Amino acid sequence: MIEFEIKSRTLNIGNRKGQTVYYAQPKTQQHMTVDMLVDRVMRETSLSEGDSRCALITFCNVVCDALRMGMSVDLAELGSFRLSVTSKMMDTPEEVTVEDALNTPRIVFYPKRRMRDAANSVVLTIDRSRVTAVGEAGQPGGGGSEEPGEDGGL
């Protein structure tokens, strides 16, 4: 579950300059640490703690090596990693060089259906117990939480 709080701020530029606007911002997001991941792998497999940590480190090394070689990496039900390198438009063919035309490579992750379904099934709620302005202490707001599906997105 991801819980959001309502924040407000006054716009400084544009058509709505001076208007106070409200938006949802995540309060905090849960974080799975490496220790938690290793513990979960140990519980669900016959691997020891050392084997689990070694498998994660080796997995990282193998993926990094493949990316260094320009390969995409298929991770079964998770999805795949690949590099994306965009190019700038140049006026002549001679200007198209690695240094001048190519941007820094980025890593792109494409989740497969199971992972997309997991992300789409997260419960989103909005805490209406207080409305806070960015950089200020809380201001009174409405009450209660909003159920998922009732404007629960950003």
SS3 103: coil
Q: Is residue 52 part of a domain?
A: no
Q: Is residue 100 part of a domain?
A: yes
Q: What tokens were used for 150?
A: 């009732």
Using pLDDT thresholds of 50, 70 and 90, give the confidence band for residue 34. very high
Q: Is residue 39 part of a domain?
A: no
Q: Is residue 46 part of a domain?
A: no
Q: What is the mean pLDDT of residues 2-28?
A: 90
Q: Is residue 110 part of a domain?
A: yes
Q: Is residue 20 part of a domain?
A: yes
Q: Is residue 12 part of a domain?
A: yes
Chain segment 77-127, per-residue pLDDT in tens: 999 999 999 999 999 999 999 999 999 999 999 999 999 999 999 999 999
Q: What tokens were used for 50?
A: 């050392």
| pLDDT above 70 for 137 | no
Give the list of residues 6+ apart from residue 67 with CB closer than 8 angstroms, or none.
Answer: 73, 81, 83, 107
DSSP state of 95: G
* Number of domains forming the structure of the chain: 1
Range(s) of the domain holding residue 125: 2-32+72-146
Residue 98's closest CA among 113, 88, 108?
A: 88
Residue 111's closest CA among 79, 136, 71, 85?
A: 79
- The pTM score is 0.65
Cβ count near 24 (within 10 Å): 20
Q: Is residue 58 part of a domain?
A: no
> DSSP letter string over 117-145?
HHHHT--EEEEEEEEEETTS-EEE---SE
Q: Provide the phi-psi class of 79: left if phi over 0, else alpha when psi is between -120 and 50, else beta.
A: left
